[in-house]
Amino acid sequence: MVSIEPSILAADPLRLGEQAKAAEDAGADALHIDIMDGRFVPNLTFGAHIVRALRQHVSLPFHVHLMIVEPEHHLEDFIAAGAKILTVHQEVSPHLHRTLGKIRQLGARAGVALNPSTPINTLEEVLDLTDYVLIMTVNPGFGGQAFIRSQVDKVRRLRALLEVHDRQMVIGVDGGIDQETARLCVQAGATALAVGTSVYDGKGTVEANIAALRAAVRRRS
């Protein structure tokens, strides 16, 4: 089954708790929380205190996606605040092996995100330490961007790489996911979808939007 992770970045900032709860009530599998630092990516978003505040409000697992330089300095804070999956970017992690080991040691599942320009073979040496690979289907930094179609083939190649190495892990995609692009990604091998705008865009209820995504990925072909 495909996991759906609504991205709270696209929610109404004055109603974060309520909108996280709406995702939980609608049967979302996790809440995706985007942390941006204004350095690795141009935008600034939330700190660990927001993750902690949300943690008091819902019991959904939290996937915290760190789009920050030197993420290794913030692992403890975000895991203590409630991250169950903690994802760092390969591009800002020269000591990725150590960082992933540390995330697991702190009791969370270890994720690696790859920008659209980052090749998947950079993961080969850390597959045994990785629980989750997040393929960015936009250049990170903003919600509401257009899906980059070349990344579908990257998902397919990642799936094949994992098969060659006999490794199982979550393959997530993040950015520009709607009913159509969700289906393409799932057909290529994605097992998790981070979705901001298509869940919280106000066009339908959170519940209806999540149900529509689920229906779209069930119609696989």
Question: Residue 145 binds what, of ligand DX5, Zn ion, none (CB under 5 to 8 Å, by partner type)?
Answer: ligand DX5
> How far apart are CB 115 and Zn ion at their closest, in Å?
12
Left if phi > 0, otherwise alpha if psi is -120 to 50, otherwise beta: which for 202? left
By CB under 6 A, the count of residues binding ligand DX5 is: 21
Q: Which two tokens stand for residue 221?
A: 């072909």
> Which residue, 143 or 189, has its beta carbon nearer to ligand DX5?
143
| 2, 5, 11, 34: which one binds Zn ion (CB under 5 A) | 34
Q: In this structure, are strands 83-89 and 62-67 parallel, antiparallel, or unpaired?
A: parallel
Are 117 and 140 in contact by the 8 Å Cβ rule? The answer is: no
Site for ligand DX5 in 4-63 (CB under 6 A): 7, 9-10, 32, 34
- Residue 133's alpha-carbon distances to 3, 16, 47, 79, 129, in angstroms, are 13, 26, 23, 18, 11
| 175, 188, 209, 216: which one binds ligand DX5 (CB under 6 A) | 175
Catalytic residue among 12, 25, 29, 34: 34
Exposure of 118 in the CB half-sphere (CA atoms within 13 A): 21
Query: At 55, which amino acid appears?
Result: R
Query: At 169, which amino acid appears?
Result: M
Q: Per-residue contact track with ligand DX5, 89 to 118, x per CB under 6 A?
A: ------------------------------
Whether 29 sits among the annotated catalytic residues: the reply is no
Whether 201 sits among the annotated catalytic residues: the reply is no
> Which residue, 166 or 180, has its beta carbon nearer to ligand DX5?
180
66 near ligand DX5 (CB under 6 A): no
According to DSSP, the residues that pair with 47 across neighbouring strands are: none
Task: Determine the distance from the C-alpha atom of residue 203 to the mean position of all C-alpha atoms in its chain, rounded to a whole number.
Answer: 22
Q: Which residues are catalytic?
A: 34, 174
Task: Please give the residue ranges that form the binding site for ligand DX5 (CB under 6 A).
Answer: 7, 9-10, 32, 34, 65, 138, 140-141, 143-145, 174-177, 194-198
